[in-house]
Chain A
């Protein structure tokens, strides 16, 4: 069975600093990988996804993620964060199915 691990429950960072949110998955076969963002009191919104092809995936709001098959990782990065990036970020995996398996989430807190 697939699973997703987000090791950092909270990541505090100052505005304009770079950030990396870590995601590792376990699966014996190829999977699709996703990052969703949840702003306060909102539903989830797709940031980016990896299906195949280039391992560097660019998403909305300046975020990008790199798929690393050998390390089974899909870390999310942004070179310079803004206050408005404060939110909870969820990594998710799917084995080409109708269902997503979500990680436990990482709360990104950006300070001025």
Chain B
């Protein structure tokens, strides 16, 4: 009963380094999302995907890239890490659009610190 799995759970990066946050879901959901959560700011949408091969920008896409080659996986890439990207990152999935009559399922998050 895995649901949405994110790896790693914690990571410290140096400024300018790159990394990929992994996200996989086993519920055969079409929609997948990446959010970042900053204290007192709630969740902001970075990128989302409505199906394999299709991605679109959210509210705060700058500094990030995504790909969706399979239904199950939706990795988030940071190319040149900056301190402003220190945050908690959540991946989510849903059967149809998360703002519609469906529930979003969230992973447990990745806590990233850029120093």
Taking Cβ atoms with an 8 Å cutoff, the residues of A that contact B are 4, 9, 32, 36, 41-46, 49, 51, 90, 94-100, 102-105
Contacts and interface: CB of A to CB of B under 8 A. Distances in A.
Interface of B: 4, 31, 40-45, 48, 50, 58, 90, 92, 97-101, 103-109
A94 B48 CA distance: 15
The SS class assigned to the A binding surface is loop
Contacts of B99: 32, 94-100
B108 A94 contact: no
Nearest to A4: B42
B106 A98 contact: no
Given A43-B90, A45-B106, A102 B98 contact: no
A46 B58 contact: no
11 contacts: A41-B108, A43-B105, A43-B107, A45-B106, A46-B104, A49-B103, A90-B43, A94-B97, A94-B100, A99-B99, A100-B98
